[in-house]
Structure 1
Amino acid sequence: MALLVLGVVAGCSFVVAGLVTRAQVPGGHGGGLMAGIGLLLLLAGLTYIPGRAAQFLGNGFGWVALTLLAHLVLAIPEGRVRSGALVVLLYGGMSASLVVWAVDGPRPFAIAVAIYMWVFGGVLAGALVWRWLVRVPRPRRHTFAPVALAGGVMVLTMWMRQGAGIWPDGSHASSAEPMLHLGALAALALWPLAVLAGMLRARLDHVAVARVAAQVDRTPEALEAVLATVLRDPSLRLVQGTDGPPPVGAGRSCVSLGSGEAVLVYDAALDADPALVRSAAAIARLVVENERMRAELAARLAEVRASRARIVAAGDAERRRIERNLHDGAQQRLAGLAVTLGRIRVNDDGKLAGLVDEAAAGLRDAMAELRELAGGIHPVILTEAGLGAALRSLAEGAAVPVAVEAPDGRLSAAVEQAAYFVAAEALANVVKHAGASKVTVTARVDGGLLRLDVRDDGIGGARMDGGGTGLRGLADRVAALDGTLCLESPPGQGTSLRAELPVQERR
């Protein structure tokens, strides 16, 4: 009864595993063959029905199932038996065994057939081990391992059992046959489970690749390492920018990633699972495309920064030109008019003295305003003495007390100008809006940055996006130098305007 139950379990396990394999691999023939073997194993249960005919049919179905099972094992992993000699040995041995088994009475060739069965069972088991170690590529060994292990045990025990069942005296049992029969059926019932375990491990590979899809922010180099680990293919390479055909040798395959010349080169054994290759290629394609877009974005940002810096530099150059024109042009002409008015007064008889004095006073005021305007456009002291002197000069002319702490060293002209105009705009806003009683201006170089901080004790409430354009313009100027501008102005607690600018000290 135990043998019958095990036989039914083995047959059902083959049928179920075959149907599952057929559903998961629609284009393959292994699933249908497994299901057919399962049906033959169920029909082999006729052996336990009394009567010569039932036993003959049951054993015949068992022999055919065993032969087809050996054929299926030999076809792993390519799906076909590549050696014609093995096919001849397999089906020739089955035919001879059937003839010997069908003979009643003495069997003069039974010992030879039994030895053949044992030897061929060992050959089948050895073929499985050899295929796992040599023929099956590394990326597929983990899925083939349970099939090879369980299949080797199953084939060896099944064929040894069949060989033990043929003896010259006409009996169908030796002392070892019952134990071999029980072990063979147990191994037979477990082998389909090993096949399903291999399919499950292959499915887990798909899950692992899908998890990699959540990491498309990786660099191509990092993705290459992850895919090589997940797919168990240490030779996998993500090749970009190749000139001509990709480096694909024997046993290698590649798939284009559709982004320039990028290709994914991998072990050809992975082609046995096209869906897995497509998933890996899709992820690699996303990463390569993201990397390309990041490179383009970085290039465009660099171009924008360079253009902003050029705009700021052009504006500064224009300010210097206007300052020079005012100094060399309008101021010189006004100075000439002052000299002329002085001569008129000296030569006058006294009638025009009052008018000349009035005109001279107005001229002096105009010249003072013009000098102040020219200094605001581009202060000469900033160019000649540097940021520290310019900030102290700015504080001296402020309408509120200003304490300045600034270095005397020179920095690049662009950084000094940006810092100066930040301080000038902040002091102008203090006078106009803050109602402050004191202001502190601190500038220091720390860690490759110029840190400028303008603080007041006024009413606060200032905003970067307020009605004026001064702070927004300063933010653009600072950003053009890869710097930052930060405003903190809680109501009733004063205002702090901080600028950080990358610096290169002037030598």
Structure 2
Amino acid sequence: MAGDTVVRPRTGSGSELFDRVAVAIHRRGVRVALWSAAAVAEVAVLAPLVLRGGPVNPIEVVLRLVGGSFTACGLVAWQRRPDSRSGMLMTATGFAFLLPALFSEHESLFAATVASWLSDLWTLFFIPLLLTYRTGGRLPTTVDRVLVGAVVVEIVVLAPLWLVFADDPATFLLVVPDAEIAQVVDTVQRGLYLALSVGTAVVVAVRWRASSTPGRRAMLPSVAGALCLLLWSVLLTVDLVWGGTRHPLLLWITVCSIVLVPVAFLTGLLRSRLARGGLADLFGGLATMHPADLQTALARVLHDPAFAIAYAVPDGGFVDVDGAPVELPRSASGRSVSRMSRDGVAVAALVYDRSLDDDPELVEAVGGAATIALENRLLQAQSDARLAELQASRQRLVTAADTERRRIERDLHDGAQQRLVTLALQLSLIQRRIRDDPGAAEQLVAGASAELAMSLAELRELARGIHPAALEQGLEPALQALVLRSAVPTELVVEPGPRLPRPVEFAAYFVASEALANVAKYAGATAVTVRLTRSATGAGVEIADDGVGGADPSAGTGLRGLADRVEALGGRLRVTSPPGGGTVVAAELPTS
């Protein structure tokens, strides 16, 4: 049983590029190369601090750990959640931190140029990470695109422009050393980054406020990143207003926050694994869990109080766990729908917060749990129905056996027994008259002989009803005897083959016997066909007439008793009897 989860599509060339890179990251050699590059780069930026001698600035050490933190968490997230672009952006942010730090330890003009120009390169990936964390890697609004575009302008235009006029440090781009112009460009850069940080934080805050409770919980990593940007904004404000005098505590808080941000993102991306751990506790009770209890338990796992399970009904609609009709939400409602089907037929639907669309593994796991519970309920219902049918069948068999015993007792009492009593009286009279009136005795002997013959005939007929003697010769002779005694012209068609097992012959005979008796009593037919067929795994007997039809198997005990007899052998009895179209009684009996 697999559902059709509603997931926002990714389109465009950027998506194709991401897909190609995502495939590459799952190649073992590429993963090893990226991990190795990250480890080498982190050691390379930390080693100079340790080997240069003298006191080491702890803040500088923590700052150089930022790149390793982002790359490590990003690579783990990228591997575990390849469907999300956040892992790729985290990895890119980490390498963007490490790249300028690697060149800052060298004294060449080229190294100084790269270190100064790309010092803010990490924001080109970090800001999109915050803006696209819950949108599948897309920039959904114009504001998002403007913010990212402003980052590109700063890196591509303002950063090299500042290097054209700044002579500290000296770079390849230095053309016109002018401290005043460099200061103006630097101020514009800091002001732009201040606006970018505040703008990004505002966008994240607005989305967080507009989200549902599960959506807000899912956005917590973005909120943590936005708070980190605000702290950087405070530092930029201090630089602009007070000329770079930074309070150590504020600096420590800001630096530590950005080190912990990738951990928050990794935890958010992997929270589906934690939630699936909660599902494991449910599996033991799924078989007996009531639908309302299942819905409550899954809502608790998803942290979505409004989570609902809708069950499909034959008319194409859905009902809730209490059986009340329910309409599935539309796409604009902020809720998503994952449909579950069984053999191509819809059986249920999960209704959950749209923020979970970015966590397809969790939705799939919850759908699997719901499917297992639903299948258990269906199996339990089928088992209960079969048990009820078995109990009813047993009751009918007991009733039929009691009825048959009473019929035999009545037939014996009213038929053969009465004749035998009469015969005994006649024999007593013969004994008294045989000497005095031989003629009368002779007449009594003739009457007694007739009574005895009739008694034997009745006993034979009764015995034939209990176990037909013709079956000793096989099913075909027994059916021929039935056809010859039928009150309606009957044709017998038998496929040749080996003799069937006795229980199968017995059941087939009684199906034919009961069906022919019903034709004679109720069908008003002019012709009947009895057909015996064989297959590799069973046999079939079919009795078809051209009568009035309209037979109802549930209206009497005869056909119902035949069905019980056939089903007891693992077979199936079908009755087709449209009004005016004749009746067909067909039994399929397994032979192996």
For Structure 1 versus Structure 2, the TM-score category normalised by the shorter chain is: 0.5 to 0.7
Whether the aligned pair in 2 keeps the contact of 1:154 and 1:187 (CA below 8 Å) is yes
Matches for 1:107-186 after TM superposition, within 5 Å: 107-108=183-184, 114-135=190-211, 138-145=213-220, 147-166=221-240, 173-176=243-246, 179-186=249-256
Find out whether 1:82 has 2:140 as its counterpart: yes
Whether the aligned pair in 1 keeps the contact of 2:208 and 2:215 (CA below 8 Å) is no
Whether the aligned pair in 1 keeps the contact of 2:62 and 2:255 (CA below 8 Å) is yes
For 1:264, what is the secondary structure of its paired residue? strand
Flag the 1:338–1:92 CA change in 2: closer, same or farther, 3 A.
closer
Whether the aligned pair in 2 keeps the contact of 1:8 and 1:45 (CA below 8 Å) is yes
Q: Which amino acid aligns with 2:145?
A: V
Residue 149 of structure 1: how far off its partner (Å): 3.8
Aligned to 2:96: 40
Residue 272 of structure 1: how far off its partner (Å): 2.0
Residue 315 of structure 1: how far off its partner (Å): 1.5
For 2:411, what is the secondary structure of its paired residue? helix
Flag the 1:113–1:85 CA change in 2: closer, same or farther, 3 A.
same
Q: 1:65 aligns with which of 118, 122, 135?
A: 122
Distance (Å, rounded) in 2 between the aligned partners of 1:245 and 1:313: 42
Distance (Å, rounded) in 1 between the aligned partners of 2:140 and 2:89: 18
Flag the 1:333–1:196 CA change in 2: closer, same or farther, 3 A.
same
- Unmatched segments (≥5 aa) in structure 1: 353-479, 481-507
Distance (Å, rounded) in 2 between the aligned partners of 1:335 and 1:128: 106
Per-residue CA distance 1:220-272 (angstroms, 9 max, x = gap): 71433332322233233242225337634224222232254303232343332
- Unmatched segments (≥5 aa) in structure 2: 1-56, 167-177, 319-327, 439-567, 569-592
Matches for 1:101-500 after TM superposition, within 5 Å: 103=166, 105-106=179-180, 107-108=183-184, 114-135=190-211, 138-145=213-220, 147-166=221-240, 173-176=243-246, 179-219=249-289, 221=291, 222-233=293-304, 234-244=306-316, 247-250=328-331, 251-259=335-343, 260-267=345-352, 268-337=354-423, 339-340=425-426
Count how many residue pairs are aligned between Structure 1 and Structure 2: 347
Distance (Å, rounded) in 2 between the aligned partners of 1:305 and 1:180: 79
Whether the aligned pair in 1 keeps the contact of 2:339 and 2:349 (CA below 8 Å) is yes
Distance (Å, rounded) in 1 between the aligned partners of 2:103 and 2:60: 9
For 1:239, what is the secondary structure of its paired residue? strand
Flag the 1:84–1:149 CA change in 2: closer, same or farther, 3 A.
closer
Residue 130 of structure 1: how far off its partner (Å): 2.6
Q: Cα RMSD (Å) of the superposition?
A: 3.7
Residue 49 of structure 1: how far off its partner (Å): 5.0
Q: Which amino acid aligns with 1:258?
A: R
For 1:244, what is the secondary structure of its paired residue? coil
Residue 112 of structure 1: how far off its partner (Å): 6.4
TM-score by length of 2: 0.51
Flag the 1:161–1:81 CA change in 2: closer, same or farther, 3 A.
farther
Flag the 1:117–1:160 CA change in 2: closer, same or farther, 3 A.
farther
Distance (Å, rounded) in 1 between the aligned partners of 2:119 and 2:128: 14
Residue 5 of structure 1: how far off its partner (Å): 0.2
Whether the aligned pair in 2 keeps the contact of 1:271 and 1:277 (CA below 8 Å) is yes
For 2:121, what is the secondary structure of its paired residue? helix
Distance (Å, rounded) in 2 between the aligned partners of 1:302 and 1:181: 75
Distance (Å, rounded) in 1 between the aligned partners of 2:158 and 2:231: 16
Flag the 1:163–1:70 CA change in 2: closer, same or farther, 3 A.
farther
Q: Which amino acid aligns with 1:237?
A: I
Flag the 1:314–1:85 CA change in 2: closer, same or farther, 3 A.
closer
Flag the 1:82–1:349 CA change in 2: closer, same or farther, 3 A.
closer
Flag the 1:201–1:32 CA change in 2: closer, same or farther, 3 A.
closer
Flag the 1:289–1:49 CA change in 2: closer, same or farther, 3 A.
closer
Residue 38 of structure 1: how far off its partner (Å): 1.4
Whether the aligned pair in 2 keeps the contact of 1:220 and 1:288 (CA below 8 Å) is no
Moved more, 65-74 or 97-106: 97-106
Distance (Å, rounded) in 2 between the aligned partners of 1:248 and 1:318: 60
Distance (Å, rounded) in 2 between the aligned partners of 1:144 and 1:47: 35
Flag the 1:152–1:349 CA change in 2: closer, same or farther, 3 A.
same
Whether the aligned pair in 2 keeps the contact of 1:47 and 1:59 (CA below 8 Å) is no
Flag the 1:218–1:270 CA change in 2: closer, same or farther, 3 A.
farther
Percent identity, please.
27
Q: Which amino acid aligns with 1:231?
A: L
Residue 348 of structure 1: how far off its partner (Å): 8.4
Q: Which amino acid aligns with 1:121?
A: S
TM-score by length of 1: 0.58
For 2:270, what is the secondary structure of its paired residue? helix
Whether the aligned pair in 2 keeps the contact of 1:166 and 1:173 (CA below 8 Å) is yes
Flag the 1:68–1:349 CA change in 2: closer, same or farther, 3 A.
closer
